[in-house]
Amino acid sequence: MSQQSRVAIKAWAEADRPREKLVEQGRRALTDAELLAILIGSGSREESAVELCRRILHDKGNDLHALSRLSVTELCRYKGIGEAKAISIVAALELGRRRKGRKDEERSVLNSSARVYEYMEHIYNDLPYEEFWVLFLAGGCKLIAKVLIGKGGNDFTPVDIRQVLRLALEYHASSIILTHNHPSGTLKPSTMDVQLTNKLIEAAKLFDFSINDHVIFTNSAYYSFRDSGLL
């Protein structure tokens, strides 16, 4: 599509310009569609940037969490959204996740499943595949480090038990918390989840540290082995 066929924000009526609205009225005065329109800058011959963004949001139920799960390829299926615009949207939403993650770094005493969920939610949110992270803790459940141990497909993540034990010794951890996600949205642990947890529990005993919990994440909830009486 040619540059002339796009409707640039600077060509809109002054009252409809989200950039000016942000400057004059503040960021909270803008709708989600207007904020997205600032990111993409222009729409198409048929619709303005704000109209295009309203349509995209409408398709996702006006849910920013659902929008954030779209890939660059999926965003590019909308007429008026090219690769550069799609990348801008994905990057902005990722910054939002990371901002939340930095805030959660302050709450690094992980002495309950709820705190683990708050701390790790931004890492697992919207992932289309499984990841397995281990949290290494000092006394008082204070976080020493979090490490990505495995990355897999939709229903399996390879985990090297020896690597987990080696890292626990290197960090002088007194306990660890296992975490992984279920992209399918199923909270119930699989047979392999239970077997892996039991193997790590027995291995940890040999090195005098404990497995505090194994927390499974979905986009909207979590499952704790300890809370459920499996630890």
Domains of the chain (ranges; CATH) run 3-101 (no CATH), 107-224 (3.40.140.10)
Nearest to 210 by CA among 165, 180, 179, 166: 165
Tally of CB atoms within 10 A around 145: 13
DSSP code of 10? G
Which string of b and e fits 216-228 if b means at least 16 CB within 10 Å? Answer: bbbbeebbbbbee
CA distance 59 to 91: 20
Binned average pLDDT, 10 residues per bin, the chain of 231 residues = 47 63 83 90 86 91 86 92 93 82 64 94 88 95 92 80 94 96 93 95 93 95 96 90
Span between the terminal Cα atoms of the chain, in Å: 59
Global pTM reads 0.60
